[in-house]
């Protein structure tokens, strides 16, 4: 079974905006390795002449008029789940 390096897991975690404990990092090194080993069975599949399928609805470019529409939502209802708000807007921690 191939195992991911600690550096690989940390790099993925940073890209995913996840902090991980040492225990989680160790476990994911094994588990991700095992799952990638399994999906590697696609390596040997011959797909010559085939194109990828990204969606199966058969629909293409579903357009609508680019106009605002009133769905009847109140700003306060849309903000009620936010951890912090100010002046009717989401408030976040400082960026730097």
Partner 1 sequence: MDGWPAISEIADDVKAGRLKAVDLVKKSLKAIEENREFDAIISTLQDRALERAVAIDGRPSGRLAGVPFIAKDNFLTLGGKTTAASNILKPFEAPYQASAIERLEAEGAICVAKANLDAFAHGSSTENSDWFVTKNPHDKTRVPGGSSGGSAAAVILNMAPFALGTDTGGSVRLPASFVGAVGVKPTYGRVSRSGVVAMASSTDVIGPITRSAGDAALVLDVMAGKDELDSTTIEKPDSLSDTSFDFSGKKIGIVKEYMQEGLEPGVKSVIEASIEKIKQAGAEVSDVSLPSLPLALAVYYIVCPAEVSSNLSRYDGQRYGYSAAEARNLDESYELSRQQGFGAEAKRRIMIGTYVLSSGYYDAYYKKAQTVRTKIIHEFTDAFSKFDLLIGPTSPTVAFKIGEKTADPLKMYLNDIMTVAANMSGNPAISVPAGLSDGLPVGLQMIAPMGADGPMLAAAKAFEELPK
Q: Which of 22, 67, 68, 81 binds partner 1 (CB under 8 A)?
A: 81
Q: Which two three-digit tokens encode residue 78?
A: 């849309």
Q: Which of 3, 5, 17, 70 binds partner 1 (CB under 8 A)?
A: 17
Judged by CB under 8 A, does residue 60 bind partner 1?
no
Residues contacting partner 1: total by CB under 8 A: 51
Handedness of CA 61, 64, 67, 73 (dihedral sign): negative
Q: Give CA–CA dist 2/61, Å, rounded.
A: 42
Q: Which of 7, 22, 51, 68 binds partner 1 (CB under 8 A)?
A: 51
Q: Give CA–CA dist 85/79, Å, rounded.
A: 7
Q: How far is the CB of 12 from partner 1 (least distance, A)?
A: 5
Is 6 within 8 Å of 29 (Cβ atoms)? yes
Q: Which two three-digit tokens encode residue 60?
A: 């293409």
Binding residues (CB under 8 A) for partner 1: these are: 9, 12-13, 15-21, 24, 28, 31-32, 34-36, 38-39, 41-43, 45, 47, 50-59, 62, 64, 71, 73, 77-78, 80-84, 90, 92-96
């Amino acid at each position: 079974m191939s195992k991911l390096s600690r550096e690989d897991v940390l790099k993925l975690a940073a890209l995913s905006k996840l902090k991980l404990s040492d225990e989680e990092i160790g476990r994911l090194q094994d588990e991700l390795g095992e799952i990638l080993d399994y999906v590697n069975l696609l390596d040997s599949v011959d797909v010559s002449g085939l194109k990828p399928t990204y969606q199966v609805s058969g629909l293409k470019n579903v357009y609508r008029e680019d106009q605002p529409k009133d769905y009847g939502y109140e700003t306060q209802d849309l903000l009620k789940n936010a951890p912090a708000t100010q002046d009717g807007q989401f408030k976040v921690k400082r960026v730097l």
